[in-house]
Amino acid sequence: MKVGIPREVKNHEYRVAITPAGVHELVRNGHEVYIEDNAGVGSSIPNEEYVAAGATILPTADEVWATADLLLKVKEPIAQEYHRLRKGQTLFTYLHLAADRAGTDALIASGTTAIAYETVQLANGALPLLAPMSEVAGRLAPQVGSYHLMRPVGGRGVLPGGVPGTHPAKAVVIGGGVSGWHAATIAIGMGYDVTLLDRDINKLREADRIFGTKIKAIMSNSFELEKAVIEADLVIGAVLIPGAKAPKLVTNELVSRMKPGSVLVDIAIDQGGCFEDSRPTTHAEPTFQVHNSVFYCVANMPGAVPNTSTYALTNATLPYVVELANRGWKEALRRDPALAKGLNVHEGQIAFPAVAEAFGLESVSLESVLA
């Protein structure tokens, strides 16, 4: 099979969908790999390393898209890429379609078979291809939040851990999944007074077991969430419903009662965000103000640390990529129920119910597509 990897074109997106090790594995399995010129430079991977692993470098994105049977990306196609989508090609990437009507419509119109990293789901509910980027985003969130808490960039001017004789800053993490867990871990390490809110008592018990008195593990409800947010210097939103829009848990009215200069980091922005006022931002212009608070809603946070993110992503995706290349998309999905849940769109039809529900559209059953 011909596998293509174009350069990412989203604002300040420096990741690439495969490493030289991934190229080597695909070539070893008898496949041809085509990579756009300098696609890996942002991740500190020069063309020469890909060539040494067996890839062919093509000069333009158009050539990569036109050549590939299986097209690997990191982020969802954006408007300038829609014309390259075509029937007969399999696209494997993060899609986050429930928050992207234009992208959904483009995929439907193109006839592309689109498989989303973020909805590949194991029998135990784990999301193996979302997890590595959730880990990265979770670990970044307290760092970027702390930066924007500094007064010169509009924050409250508080130091996360304080110094002797002062109070540490208060961080609230909403959601105890992968990204929330990693956010809480880093926030604790930075010296924050950390509160973790979740509706799953088992996650709260695990947080208590691991962190003990270093964390307040609180059952999430409207009363406790409101109380924690009002007292917070930093709020990190890390709520996920796989493949669906994130619930809006922090309202505009609640933000109006927060401390002036407080910071809200919305890790869930790819799925529409979990704060009422959230809207996607970029690394070039990462923040905006609501009332007297600073919102950070960058939709590709891991793109800021591409070297780490690219290798972490390939570590997770490569086994699935190899299966798709070896067997073709339909047989690979038939054999692997977890991968099958990644199918979002096929030949003009939505195959993931949460995406269809987000826009009031019809969906087809996975079984009918794979029959």
Distance CA 308, CA 288 (A): 27
pLDDT reported for residue 305: 97
3-state SS assignment for residue 338: helix
pLDDT reported for residue 199: 96
Beta bridge partners, 193, equal 170
Buried b (16+ CB within 10 A) or exposed e, 203-230: bbeebeeebeebbbbbebeeeebbebbe
Residue 365 phi/psi, 5-degree rounding, is -75, 145
207 is in an annotated binding site: no
pLDDT reported for residue 236: 99
Distance CA 252, CA 31 (A): 52
pLDDT tens, residue order, the chain (371 aa): 999 999 999 989 999 999 999 999 999 999 999 999 999 999 999 999 999 999 999 999 999 999 999 999 999 999 999 999 999 999 999 999 998 999 999 999 999 999 999 999 999 999 999 999 999 999 999 999 999 999 999 999 999 999 999 999 999 999 999 999 999 999 999 999 999 999 999 999 999 999 999 999 999 999 999 999 999 999 999 998 887 889 999 999 999 999 999 999 999 999 999 999 999 999 999 999 999 999 999 999 999 999 999 999 999 999 999 999 999 999 999 999 999 999 999 999 999 999 999 999 999 999 999 98
Question: How crowded is residue 289: how many other Cβ atoms within 10 Å of its Cβ?
Answer: 11
7 is in an annotated binding site: no
Catalytic, out of 96, 148, 182, 346: 96
Domains of the chain: 2-119+305-370 (3.40.50.720), 131-299 (3.40.50.720)
Count Cα atoms within 13 angstroms, Cβ side, for 157: 3
Residues with Cβ within 8 Å of 105's Cβ and at least 6 positions away in sequence, in order, are none
Q: Which of 171, 121, 166, 182 is nearest to 146 (CA)?
A: 171
Catalytic, out of 100, 270, 277, 336: 270
Distance CA 172, CA 235 (A): 5
Read off the DSSP letter of residue 301.
G
300 is in an annotated binding site: yes
326 is in an annotated binding site: no
- Is residue 270 annotated as a catalytic residue, yes or no? yes
> Which tens digit of pLDDT belongs to each residue from 348-366?
999 999 999 999 999 999 9
> Which tens digit of pLDDT belongs to each residue from 203-231?
999 999 999 999 999 999 999 999 999 99
pTM for the model stands at: 0.92
259 is in an annotated binding site: no
Question: How crowded is residue 312: how many other Cβ atoms within 10 Å of its Cβ?
Answer: 19
